[in-house]
Amino acid sequence: MSHIHVINLPLKIIIGSNVLDNINEIIESIGLNKITKIGMVTGRKTYEIAGARIEGELTEKNISVKTWIVESSTINTAEEIVSEAKNNEVKLMIGVGGGKAIDIAKYVAYKIDRDVVNIPTAASHDGIASPFASLTGLDKPMSILTKTPRAIIADIDIISKAPSRLLKAGVGDLLGKLVAVRDWRLAHRLRGEYYGEYAAKLALLSAKHVIKYSELIASNSIEGVRVVVEGLISSGVAMCIAGSSRPASGSEHLFSHALEILKPGRALHGEKVALGTIIMLYIYGSPLWRRVRRIMKKIGLPTTAREIGIEPDVIVEALTIAHKIRPDRYTVLGETGLSKEAAWRILRETGIID
Ligand code: ZN
């Protein structure tokens, strides 16, 4: 056989206002009502916002719930939960929260070979619908292939109450697709890497979607929240279709990962990705970098070293090491990356440093 491509997609995506009020109906509609033991990963705040409610409703239906409240998404925490989930004979995982809880839930589901349902409480990254999880404490800060979520339940009312900085970061993660898809095409042309046009177009669409509705998003309206959630889910589905994170992660993500290594936790993932997007579009010679920067300013995403709170020399350093983060992922940074001089010049020309 020449090329067999298997695509795992989420079975159900439920987006809307107060959808969590009907959590039991939803559980039934995806055929999970016969499950007796559910494992839930959530955060401290997100447990108060949504986790406790879900736990209560499930318990009322005689479904036993084992809850883990996590503060970080380290591989060690994830592995501890894997063994406890095995001991507790958990039959389904639920991730309730932002990035960390969802990433851990996906990883645990994968390790115990059960389904996972994601219930995001913020729209800050596109892991909501993708099979990829980023855990810390691994050799390299890259995402690992886990399991495509069986369902995604996005309660717009809950998500709209999350700090607006998280939503903006979600926009940043989506703007990155403008670069990721260019890098994918480049790798296809130069390296003969598999390229799926449909997945690429879908990822691009998610970026164009937030650009088109940037006014709406900037206005902090509930419709704007919905646009971002839809974009993040599309991007996740694009990864499901491609079978890799290629359509959603290129040199802008390598740059973000490099910053994370140099200054862990200094800015949000999507904020770093957005900054990387300006830089990489500039390197591509695309005039789009100015438009992206304008949109970022309008939405309130950091566009300078000062705003993102990272020293200029650290940003330069990140740019010069980004190509080494994941050598198998060919991008516009090439095999040798940028020199320090080039990095300084690009950062000045894009107004990131003055
Ligand atoms: Zn991302």
Give the Cα separation of 230 and 129 in Å (integer).
10
174 pLDDT more than 50? yes
pLDDT tens-digit readout, 225-284: 999 999 999 999 999 999 999 999 999 999 999 999 999 989 999 999 999 999 999 999
* Percent share of the chain, pLDDT over 70: 99
Span from the CA of 245 to the centroid of ligand 1 (angstroms): 9
Exposed, middle or buried by CB within 10 Å (0-12, 13-18, 19+), for 250? buried
Q: What is the largest CA-CA distance in the chain?
A: 64
Number of Cβ atoms within 10 Å of the Cβ of 348: 12
Residue ranges of domains in the chain, CATH in brackets: 12-161 (3.40.50.1970), 164-350 (1.20.1090.10)
Please measure the distance between the N-terminal and C-terminal CA atoms of the chain and give it in whole angstroms.
56
Q: Residue 119: what pLDDT?
A: 96
CA dihedral over 302, 158, 79, 246, signed as positive or negative: negative
Note the pLDDT tens digit of each residue in 55-81: 998 898 889 999 999 998 899 999 999
DSSP-based three-state secondary structure for 298: helix
- How far apart CA 259 and CA 269 sit, in angstroms, is 10
For residue 347, give both structure tokens: 């950062």
Query: 209 versus 142: which is more confidently predicted?
Result: 209
pTM of this prediction? Answer: 0.95
| Distance between Cα 282 and ligand 1 center (Å) | 19
CA of 196 to the centre of ligand 1 (A): 19
Say how many Å lie between the CA of residue 98 and the centre of ligand 1. Answer: 13
Q: Which residues, in sequence order, are bridge partners of residue 67? A: 40
Q: For 307-343, write each residue's pLDDT tens digit.
A: 999 999 999 999 999 999 999 999 999 999 999 999 9
User: pLDDT digits over 132-160, tens only?
Assistant: 998 988 877 678 899 999 999 999 999 99
Task: Please report the pLDDT score of residue 141 as a whole number.
Answer: 65
Task: Centre a 10 Å sphere on the Cβ of residue 30 and count the other Cβ atoms it contains.
Answer: 18
What are the angstrom distances between the C-alpha of 326 and each of 82, 172, 240?
27, 21, 20
Q: What are the backbone angles phi and psi of residue 79, rounded to the nearest 5°?
A: -65, -35
Task: Give distance in angstroms: CA of 125 to centre of ligand 1.
Answer: 6
* Cα distances (Å, whole numbers) of residue 40 to 30, 94, 249: 17, 5, 28
Does residue 173 have a known ligand-binding role? yes
pLDDT of residue 1: 47
Is 160 known to sit in a ligand binding site? no
